[in-house]
Homo-oligomer: A and B are copies of this chain.
Amino acid sequence: MMEKIDSYECFVEPFHVDFTGRVFMGVLGNHLLNAAGKHSTRRGWGIGALNETQHTWVLSRLSIELYDMPRQYEHFEVKTWVEGVMKLFTNRNFAILRPDGSAYGYARSVWAMIDLETRRPCDLLSLYDGDICRYVVTDEENDCPIAGHGRFRFREPELVRTIDTYYSDVDINGHINSIKYIEHILDLFPKERFKSQSIERFEIAYKAESHLGDRLSFYTQPVSADEVDVEVRKNEAEVVCQAKIRFRTATI
């Protein structure tokens, strides 16, 4: 029987680091999503195989928590596995490790399976006779010591920026891609923030799709001195995603 945890080697390229020399959060997110794609493909649950039966994965939540951030030219490893399966969602976790096995940090994600025709969620427990349940790890194997996804409560967030979306923002499906939201959200913060602080935790909840040409408005709401919630709306109406960023005063 196939093992349940896969491991992928990553490398921090020079154009993938910010002005402090740390890997961009969006690039790290991309590494996690690539690992998820390869892990599911190896088990017959990749997007290619799913498309044949008119299904696809939709990323719903991603929360990344880091003790430290990989730096330019460093090698690191992304481990990923399926924590659990519910009827409409599956939880996938990640460990981001140094070559010596110590942790840069961990991540959690939530995925839904949708029918490509109806765009409605599918019952994961019955799809392919519940095959996915074979890949759920044991409690001992599920080493992901970070908090679960939080809740968002927006009261009167402040509109801080509105941007147009262009060619570089969209993926092969014509949607603004999951990684680009992370970039645009972190671009709301001034240089000074990243000079003195690093990101301790980044959470994002994807709510709706947006498309090339949509105008995205960014609303922020401070939670504490080190924590900010961000809501992204398209065309001054529908919420497309919500994020929570917690900074930590950099030790180095």
Bound together, the chains give a CA A55 to CA B1 distance in angstroms of: 54
Bound together, the chains give a CA A214 to CA B87 distance in angstroms of: 49
Q: Which of B171, B172, B178, B191 contacts A212 (CB 8 A)?
A: B191
Please tell me how many copies of the chain the complex holds.
2
Binds B, one of A148-156, A162-170, A226-234: A162-170
Residues of chain A having any CB pair with chain B under 8 Å: 13-15, 17-21, 24, 26, 30, 33-34, 37, 47, 72, 166-174, 177-179, 183-184, 186-189, 191, 194, 212-213
A52 to chain B, nearest CB (A): 15
Which of A26, A168, A178 counts the most B-chain CB atoms under 10 A from its CB?
A: A168
- If A14-B47, A15-B30 are given as contacts, then 15 extra A-B residue pairs at C-beta distance below 8 Å, sorted by A number, are A14-B34, A14-B171, A15-B171, A15-B179, A18-B170, A19-B173, A26-B168, A166-B187, A167-B187, A167-B189, A168-B184, A168-B187, A169-B187, A191-B212, A191-B213
